């Protein structure tokens, strides 16, 4: 199949390069949804941009379910993850972690550890990363950092074997002066609660989100509120015919990536090399350079393969800084990988929430007011805000939200896949469902009236016509017998964030081989494959033939992967670089082929003459005619063509559940996910991300729960046995329908899917399905048998429609 | 994990001679290695019996069946004779943990696994069972803990196989170099926490579990086991039931109702059994037995839901055993 991208521009366009920087051109781009709203819109773009990419159906590799570029390496065990890195003379480090939830460290005696056989060095931690910090540091003058959660790293030991390091870590004697602690959010809000911080404390967000606004008020342990008001909400409630008023609570979820946090740090006089399990090679380099006062050029960060991060793996963090410090001190490479317990305790989680949500509406569904008063705990960090969905899913006449972080003595939260949104949507989308019941309007019809997003409108139409939705009995609790079936839906919203620090180089060698270089890392979602598809499309050769070299800060800067930014940020840079390299290649070989570059096209593995000057020749043979050994081009992300336009994504998820009303068990039978992510670059990988988001969402909704003992402040289920995560039997029959929605924003017009993929909406979809099954609403996560039976046992007030 | 000496034994006699100086027996190693890795156990000497061939396999005997303790849960679950005559045991072994674990874990190890209470399993909590004064579960997190017969420790009996063997009137054969063989009924094998909080079963340090015996079932016997977890994959029971019914036509001549996740030691509910004995098995009698199974329940602060759940597990498993109901599609395993 021939590709429809023009592979050259008129030769005249290559002249006048001096003006090229500011020159623009006007192009017509496909915008909208094929089969629904597809049209052409004009965009004014830099003149140096490659020709407009047609829609997926007209392309050969982009938009196709191309096999994962590194799939075979992963399934065969050949992929080298951070824990597989083995350097000559490498040492193994182990943290010494605090055993108390709140304490001053009085003394640390390392002598026994240092004389333990095999030990090469001990490091005492001077500052703990990842937590909120006091606005006024003088409130706390201590020799060692104050322990604010059980599991907080205090020191670390490096030894010649993991066993020796572990044994020696046990020999570090830390003397604590215990302080009063609080691990329960309700108690922490109380007037006489022990204080986690002696004064106001703040935490900045990471590249993945999280954190909170600086300078918010703080009363006791309550940091906030962050107040947002638009319109007059009190008037809005007075104008309402119906007010839905409910309280929702959600639990703390830990990231539980398969690969734990960790690094191998190799400090040499001329260069600090760090192999890191990270979502941001750039963020790790920046933090290490800053911490150790090194020039950026003296720090190299490598992430060849990555076993999951979900938002918790930005920056060097405590493991990165400590491993580098030990490596510098000892003069040998140091590996520091966390164990599963440390992973649960100290490197992030999704904050809890306790939300009071009021929605006022007119009889026709028009929302007159939304009010959300939310508290949540991010441990000794911040980032529990969850008002995003209330702000951004529906149109409202007035809005009032207050978000509060409540400090407790627990490990700090970190950005976690769609920060704040699974919590916020769990409440909002169940209340919208309840509103539909009260107004006696079908849930899809109500959303058609209050949701202005044109893509979700099309997605709801797909849902409305689906067999699954048609199988829904609108009457709640209609099934006879103890096991009742129900179907519910929920929507999600996420935002278009572009990271401009996204660059790549494409090289073509005289032997016909092509390579792409960028510091961008593949966190597992498959960006390597997508980059190969883009370059393959440009050169007309199969993606498997392209060498993808990424995840190394030696290459041009890449975006940190968080907030669904990777694909939409890096792919335009790669396409631009590929296109420019192709132009250089054609210019280089044209003389030998007795033609002009403009006469040459690349497709089907061949170089062709548009005017028929020669029979198509294989790409490799043509490349051999280059008048140089290599051509290369580097490009950086061009800003979105039309920022602020089409700036959200979303989807509609439908869940079918079987609720066993005698055991309180909820079994999710089927999930239909109708989602958009602009131009799907690789539908198989997009589907895979949505499958993952749905599973993670089911796991969050039904099972996962960080449990802290209230009397001692210790986590009792810091493992993968009693911290319960969905397994094979919990995975429903899943169907994903992608909505191609062209936005006309860049040379690839790619978007992102990581956050919007199911995790936001599945909780409320299950909640609404449970209501449909039983007539009872579960407003608490996780929906365990204990929670479900308690709800079913409550006498149910009759819900009366207007 | 601590350093240890591994004594690899290929005969029972060799293993018995190694059982000294605080040695701990390793069979499949599933539970033991967990305890060693999380620091709750640090034996200096491991006696590996995994390769003792005579301790593995299932044999018919004059009175019933003999199961070698090294037979894996998977092998027990797949054995045609066990499946047909001792369905409750095949069900219990076949729905434990995960397929991977069932392929490694031995039935002997399953019977001898230690408590799953998270306080007991944490090196940070020194509890009653570890020789201290205090139980942390009563005033702490106890949603998965016992609802009856708990005395000073409400951790629940962890072994599904033990529930089935109790229901089948099974027994274990124990052997030591000094004292030779003895046989102990499963009902007498486990030690209640109020009798001795530091002792989980009657075995002495020099004894090895060498066989599991189950008597031949009476004519007309039907049996079944089901467990309920929060999850269906890889979860511990929050309620379970092992049921044996001896039927005379439609009438239940004798019933056994056994439970694991209700109490620290596997128990039979005489009240539930009485509700079935001499009666036909119907929805009504099965439900009545389920309700009766909770006689004497005293839930803790967070586990009242189990009092509601157990009667369901019991009645559904009675009906399953009687052939009147399919296996619950959402039961665990």
Task: Look up residue A5 and give its two tokens.
Answer: 């991208």
Residue B40 binned pLDDT confidence (cut-offs 50, 70, 90): confident
Angstrom CA distances, B327 to A440, B225, B332, stand at 39, 9, 11
pLDDT(A9) > 50: no
Residues 17-46 of B with CB under 8 A from A: 34, 38
Beta carbons within 10 angstroms of residue A305's beta carbon: 21
B230 vs A: CB within 8 A: yes
Closest Cα in chain B, distance from residue A664 (Å): 8
Please name the residues in contact with A635: beta carbons below 8 A apart, sequence gap of 6 or more. A503, A504, A573, A574, A576, A577, A580
B312 vs A: CB within 8 A: yes
Beta carbons within 10 angstroms of residue A472's beta carbon: 19
Burial A110-135 (b: 16+ CB within 10 A, else e): beebeebebbbbbbbbeebbbbbbee
Predicted local confidence at residue A20, as pLDDT: 56
Q: How many CA atoms lie within 13 A of A528 on its CB side?
A: 24
Predicted local confidence at residue A800, as pLDDT: 60
- Within chain B, what is the greatest distance between any pair of CA atoms? 60
Q: Average pLDDT over chain B, rounded to whole?
A: 96
B134 vs A: CB within 8 A: no
pLDDT(A386) > 70: yes
Choose among A167, A483, A784: nearest Cβ to B230.
Answer: A784
How far is residue A461's CA from residue A601's CA, in Å, rounded to a whole number?
41
How far is residue A201's CA from residue A412's CA, in Å, rounded to a whole number?
13
Give the CA radius of gyration of chain A: 28
Burial of A581 (C-beta count, 10 Å sphere; 0-12/13-18/19+)? buried
Bigger pLDDT: B330 vs A39 = A39
Q: Average pLDDT over chain A, rounded to whole?
A: 95
* DSSP states along A17-30: HHHHTT-EEEEEEE
How far is residue B212's CA from residue B204's CA, in Å, rounded to a whole number?
17
Chain B residue at shortest CA distance from A713: B140
Q: What is the pLDDT of residues A83-125, one digit of tens each?
A: 999 999 999 999 999 999 999 999 999 999 999 999 999 999 9
Contact: A785, B312; criterion CB under 8 Å: no
The predicted model scores a pTM of 0.96
| ipTM, interface predicted TM-score of the complex | 0.97
Task: Look up residue B48 and give its two tokens.
Answer: 């590996």
Average pLDDT score over residue span B102-108: 97
Predicted local confidence at residue A204, as pLDDT: 83
B231 vs A: CB within 8 A: yes
Choose among A341, A729, A790: nearest Cβ to B305.
Answer: A790
pLDDT(A597) > 80: yes
How far is residue A298's CA from residue B243's CA, in Å, rounded to a whole number?
69
How far is residue B36's CA from residue B168's CA, in Å, rounded to a whole number?
33
Chain A residue at shortest CA distance from B117: A716
Predicted local confidence at residue A10, as pLDDT: 45
Contact: B302, A786; criterion CB under 8 Å: yes
Contact: B231, A784; criterion CB under 8 Å: no
pLDDT(A13) > 80: no
Closest Cα in chain B, distance from residue A180 (Å): 18
B228 vs A: CB within 8 A: yes
Contact: B231, A709; criterion CB under 8 Å: no
Task: Look up residue B98 and give its two tokens.
Answer: 């995960």
A163: left (phi over 0), alpha (psi -120 to 50) or beta: alpha
B303 vs A: CB within 8 A: yes
Report the SS3 class of residue A730: helix
Contact: A702, B230; criterion CB under 8 Å: yes
CB A407 within 8 A of CB A197: yes
Q: What is the pLDDT of residues A191-235, one digit of tens each?
A: 999 999 999 999 987 777 778 888 899 999 999 999 999 999 999
Residues of A in contact with B127 (CB under 8 A): none
Contact: A786, B303; criterion CB under 8 Å: yes
Residue keyed to tokens 């096991």: A483
Residue keyed to tokens 């409108």: A457
B308 vs A: CB within 8 A: yes
Burial of A138 (C-beta count, 10 Å sphere; 0-12/13-18/19+)? exposed
Residues of B in contact with A163 (CB under 8 A): 1, 3
Residue A546 binned pLDDT confidence (cut-offs 50, 70, 90): very high
Choose among B136, B231, B239: nearest Cβ to A724.
Answer: B231
Predicted local confidence at residue A11, as pLDDT: 45
Closest Cα in chain B, distance from residue A658 (Å): 9
Q: What is the pLDDT of residues B231-260, one digit of tens each?
A: 999 999 999 999 999 999 999 999 999 999
Contact: A789, B305; criterion CB under 8 Å: yes
Average pLDDT score over residue span A149-178: 98
Residues of B in contact with A710 (CB under 8 A): 140-141
* DSSP states along B50-103: TT-GGGS-EEE-SSEEEE-TTSBHHHHHH-HHHHHH-HHHHHHHHTSS-HHHHH
Chain B residue at shortest CA distance from A727: B233
pLDDT(A3) > 50: no
Task: Give residue A354's Cα distance to chain centre.
Answer: 23
Report the SS3 class of residue A422: helix
Omega before A168 within 30 of 0, i.e. cis:
no
Average pLDDT score over residue span B66-75: 98
* DSSP states along A556-597: SP-----SS-HHHHHHHHHHHHHHHHHHHHHHHHTGGGTS-G
How far is residue A503's CA from residue A578's CA, in Å, rounded to a whole number?
12
Q: Residue B212's beta-bridge partner residues?
A: B67, B172
Residues of A with CB under 8 A from a CB of B: 99, 163, 166-167, 341, 483, 658, 660, 662-665, 667, 702-703, 707, 709-712, 714, 716-717, 719, 721-722, 724, 726-730, 784-786, 789-790, 793
Report the SS3 class of residue A549: strand
Q: Residue A334's beta-bridge partner residues?
A: A91, A265
Q: What is the pLDDT of residues A147-159, one digit of tens each?
A: 999 999 999 999 9
Q: What is the pLDDT of residues A477-535, one digit of tens each?
A: 999 999 999 999 999 999 999 999 999 999 999 999 999 999 999 999 999 999 999 99
Predicted local confidence at residue A645, as pLDDT: 76
pLDDT(A16) > 70: no
How far is residue A372's CA from residue A393's CA, in Å, rounded to a whole number?
14
Chain A residue at shortest CA distance from B140: A709
* DSSP states along A617-629: EEHHHHHTT-SSS
pLDDT(A8) > 50: no
Among A204, A196, A154, smallest CA distance to A176 is for A154
Residues of B in contact with A705 (CB under 8 A): none
Among A151, A415, A152, A154, smallest CA distance to A283 is for A415
Give alpha helix (H) positions in chain B: 12-18, 30-37, 73-78, 80-85, 87-94, 99-104, 107-112, 160-167, 186-189, 270-276, 283-292, 304-321
Give the CA radius of gyration of chain B: 19
CB A764 within 8 A of CB A424: no
CB A424 within 8 A of CB A432: no
Q: What is the pLDDT of residues A119-134, one digit of tens each?
A: 999 999 999 999 999 9
Which helix (H) or strand (E) covers residue A281, if one does?
Answer: helix A281-292
| Percent of chain A clearing pLDDT 90 (strictly above) | 94
How far is residue A753's CA from residue A523's CA, in Å, rounded to a whole number?
13
Closest Cα in chain A, distance from residue B119 (Å): 7
Contact: B232, A163; criterion CB under 8 Å: no
Chain B residue at shortest CA distance from A784: B230
How far is residue B314's CA from residue B167's CA, in Å, rounded to a whole number?
13
Predicted local confidence at residue B124, as pLDDT: 93
Average pLDDT score over residue span B55-69: 97
Burial of A88 (C-beta count, 10 Å sphere; 0-12/13-18/19+)? exposed
How far is residue A21's CA from residue A791's CA, in Å, rounded to a whole number?
64
How far is residue A320's CA from residue A324's CA, in Å, rounded to a whole number?
6
CB A368 within 8 A of CB A396: yes
How far is residue A281's CA from residue A284's CA, in Å, rounded to a whole number?
5
Contact: B38, A719; criterion CB under 8 Å: yes
Could you give the angle at the alpha carbon of A776 between the alpha carbons of A771 and A778, nearest 5°? 80
Average pLDDT score over residue span A365-375: 98
How far is residue A348's CA from residue A205's CA, in Å, rounded to a whole number?
12
Please name the residues in contact with A606: beta carbons below 8 A apart, sequence gap of 6 or more. A540, A616, A617, A618, A619
Angstrom CA distances, A743 to A34, A491, A642, A644, A746, stand at 12, 20, 9, 11, 8
How far is residue A460's CA from residue A467's CA, in Å, rounded to a whole number?
13
Residues of A in contact with B139 (CB under 8 A): 711
Contact: A662, B136; criterion CB under 8 Å: no
Please name the residues in contact with A356: beta carbons below 8 A apart, sequence gap of 6 or more. A245, A246, A247, A371, A372, A373, A374
Residue keyed to tokens 């939830």: A101
Chain B residue at shortest CA distance from A667: B330
Residue A439 binned pLDDT confidence (cut-offs 50, 70, 90): very high
How far is residue A423's CA from residue A654's CA, in Å, rounded to a whole number?
18
How far is residue A704's CA from residue A223's CA, in Å, rounded to a whole number?
26
Average pLDDT score over residue span A319-333: 98
Chain A residue at shortest CA distance from B333: A729
Predicted local confidence at residue A1, as pLDDT: 37
Average pLDDT score over residue span B131-157: 97
Omega before A782 within 30 of 0, i.e. cis:
yes
Choose among A166, A665, A786: nearest Cβ to B330.
Answer: A665
Provide the terminal-to-terminal Cα distance of chain A, rounded to the nearest Å: 59
Residues of B in contact with A773 (CB under 8 A): none
Residues of A in contact with B122 (CB under 8 A): 714, 716
Contact: B235, A710; criterion CB under 8 Å: no
Among B330, B331, B332, which would you mutate to test the A interface (most chain A Cβ atoms within 10 Å of its Cβ)? B330
Residue keyed to tokens 């065969």: A76
Contact: B232, A663; criterion CB under 8 Å: no
How far is residue A660's CA from residue A667's CA, in Å, rounded to a whole number?
8
CB A288 within 8 A of CB A274: yes
């Amino acid at each position: 199949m021939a590709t429809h991208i023009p592979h050259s521009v008129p030769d005249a366009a290559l002249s006048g390069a001096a003006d090229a920087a500011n020159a623009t051109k006007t192009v017509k781009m496909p915008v909208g949804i094929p089969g629904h709203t597809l049209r052409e819109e004009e965009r004014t773009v830099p003149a140096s941009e490659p020709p407009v990419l047609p829609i997926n159906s007209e392309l050969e590799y982009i938009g196709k379910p191309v096999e994962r570029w590194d799939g075979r390496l992963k399934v065969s065990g050949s992929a080298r993850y951070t824990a597989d890195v083995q350097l000559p003379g490498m040492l193994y480090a182990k943290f010494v972690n605090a055993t108390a939830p709140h304490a001053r460290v009085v003394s640390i005696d390392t002598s026994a550890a240092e004389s333990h056989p095999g030990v090469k060095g001990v490091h005492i931690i001077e500052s703990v990363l990842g937590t909120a910090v006091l606005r006024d540091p003088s409130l706390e003058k201590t020799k060692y950092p104050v322990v604010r959660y059980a599991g907080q790293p205090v020191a670390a030991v490096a030894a010649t074997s993991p066993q020796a390091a572990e044994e020696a870590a046990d020999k570090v004697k830390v003397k604590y002066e215990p302080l009063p602690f609080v691990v329960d959010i309700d108690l922490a809000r109380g007037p006489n609660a022990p204080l986690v911080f002696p004064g106001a404390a703040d935490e900045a967000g990471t590249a993945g989100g999280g954190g909170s606004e600086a300078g918010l008020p703080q009363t006791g342990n309550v940091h906030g509120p962050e107040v947002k008001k638009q319109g007059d909400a009190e008037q809005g409630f007075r104008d309402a015919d119906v007010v839905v008023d409910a309280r929702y609570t959600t639990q703390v979820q830990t990231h539980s990536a398969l690969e734990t946090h960790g690094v191998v740090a190799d400090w040499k006089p001329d260069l600090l090399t760090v192999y890191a399990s990270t979502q941001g090679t750039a963020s790790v380099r920046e933090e290490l350079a800053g911490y150790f006062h090194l020039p950026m050029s003296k720090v190299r960060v490598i992430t060849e393969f990555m076993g999951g991060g979900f938002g918790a793996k930005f920056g060097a963090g405590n493991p990165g800084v400590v491993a580098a410090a030990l490596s510098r001190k000892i003069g040998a490479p140091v590996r520091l990988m966390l164990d599963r317990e440390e992973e649960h305790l100290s490197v992030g989680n999704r904050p809890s929430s306790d939300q009071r949500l009021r929605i006022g509406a007119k009889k026709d569904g028009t929302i007159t007011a939304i009010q959300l008063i939310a508290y949540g705990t991010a441990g000794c960090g911040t980032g529990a805000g969850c008002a995003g969905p209330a702000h951004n899913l529906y149109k409202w006449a007035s809005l009032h939200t207050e978000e509060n972080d409540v400090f407790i003595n627990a490990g700090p939260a970190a950005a976690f896949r769609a920060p704040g949104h699974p919590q916020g949507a769990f409440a909002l989308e169940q209340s919208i469902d309840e509103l539909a019941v009260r107004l006696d309007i079908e849930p899809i019809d109500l959303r058609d009236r209050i949701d202005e997003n044109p893509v979700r409108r099309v997605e709801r139409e797909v849902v409305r016509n689906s067999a699954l939705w048609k199988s829904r009995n609108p009457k709640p609790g209609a099934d006879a017998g103890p096991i009742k079936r129900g179907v519910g839906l929920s929507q999600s919203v996420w935002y278009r964030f572009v990271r401009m620090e996204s660059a790549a180089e494409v090289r073509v060698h005289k032997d016909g081989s092509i390579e792409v270089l960028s510091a961008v890392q593949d966190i597992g979602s498959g960006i390597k494959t997508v980059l190969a598809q883009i370059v393959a499309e440009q050169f007309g050769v199969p993606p498997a033939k392209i060498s993808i070299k990424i995840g190394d800060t030696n290459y041009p800067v890449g975006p940190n992967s968080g907030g669904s930014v990777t694909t939409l940020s890096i792919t335009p840079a790669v396409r631009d670089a590929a296109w420019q390299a192709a132009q250089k290649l054609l210019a280089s070989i044209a003389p030998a082929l007795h033609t002009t570059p403009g006469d040459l096209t690349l497709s089907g593995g061949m170089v062709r003459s548009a005017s028929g000057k020669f029979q198509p020749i294989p790409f490799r043979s043509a490349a051999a005619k280059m008048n140089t050994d290599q051509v290369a081009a580097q490009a950086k992300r061009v800003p979105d063509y039309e920022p602020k336009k089409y700036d959200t994504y979303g989807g509609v998820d439908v869940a079918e559940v079987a609720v066993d009303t005698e055991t309180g068990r909820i079994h999710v039978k089927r999930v239909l996910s109708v989602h958009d992510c602009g131009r799907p670059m690789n539908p198989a990988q997009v589907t895979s991300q949505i499958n993952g988001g749905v599973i993670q969402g089911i796991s969050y909704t039904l099972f996962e729960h960080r449990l802290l003992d209230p009397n001692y402040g210790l986590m009792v289920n810091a493992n993968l046995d009693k911290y319960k995560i969905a397994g094979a039997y919990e995975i429903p029959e899943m169907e994903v329908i992608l909505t191609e929605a062209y936005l006309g924003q860049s040379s690839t017009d790619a978007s992102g899917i990581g956050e919007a993929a199911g995790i936001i909406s599945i909780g409320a979809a299950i909640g609404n399905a449970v209501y449909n099954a039983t007539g009872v609403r579960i407003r608490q996560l996780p929906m365990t048998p204990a929670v479900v039976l308690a709800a079913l046992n409550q006498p149910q007030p009759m819900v009366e429609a207007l | 994990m601590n350093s240890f000496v591994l004594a690899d034994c290929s005969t029972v006699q060799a293993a018995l001679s190694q059982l000294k100086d605080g040695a701990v027996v390793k069979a499949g190693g599933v539970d033991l290695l967990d305890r060693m890795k999380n620091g709750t156990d640090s034996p200096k000497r491991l006696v590996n019996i995994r390769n003792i061939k005579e301790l593995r396999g299932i044999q018919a005997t004059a009175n019933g069946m003999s199961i070698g303790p090294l037979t894996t849960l998977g092998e027990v679950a797949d054995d045609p004779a066990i499946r047909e005559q001792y369905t409750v045991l095949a069900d219990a072994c076949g729905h434990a943990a995960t397929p991977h674990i069932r392929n490694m874990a031995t039935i002997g190890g399953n019977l001898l696994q230690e408590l799953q209470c998270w306080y007991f399993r944490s090196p940070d909590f020194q509890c009653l069972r570890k020789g201290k004064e205090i139980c942390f579960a009563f005033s702490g997190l106890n949603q998965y803990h016992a609802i009856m017969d708990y005395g000073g420790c409400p951790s629940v009996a962890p072994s599904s196989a033990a529930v089935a063997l109790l229901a089948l009137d099974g027994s274990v054969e124990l052997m030591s170099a000094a004292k030779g063989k003895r046989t102990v009924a499963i009902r007498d094998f486990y030690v209640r926490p109020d009798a001795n909080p530091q002792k989980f079963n009657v075995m002495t340090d020099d004894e090895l579990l060498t066989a599991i015996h189950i008597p031949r079932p009476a004519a007309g016997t039907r049996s079944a086991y089901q467990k309920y977890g929060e999850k269906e994959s890889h979860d511990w029971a929050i309620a379970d039931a092992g049921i044996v019914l001896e039927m005379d036509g439609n009438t239940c001549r004798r019933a056994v109702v056994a439970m694991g996740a209700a109490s620290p030691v596997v128990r039979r509910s005489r009240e539930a059994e009485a509700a079935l004995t001499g009666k036909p098995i119907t929805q009504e009698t099965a439900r009545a037995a389920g309700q009766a199974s909770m006689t004497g329940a005293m839930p803790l602060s967070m586990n009242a839901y189990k009092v509601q759940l157990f009667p369901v597990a019991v009645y559904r498993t009675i009906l399953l055993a009687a052939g009147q109901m399919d296996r619950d599609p959402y039961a665990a395993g």
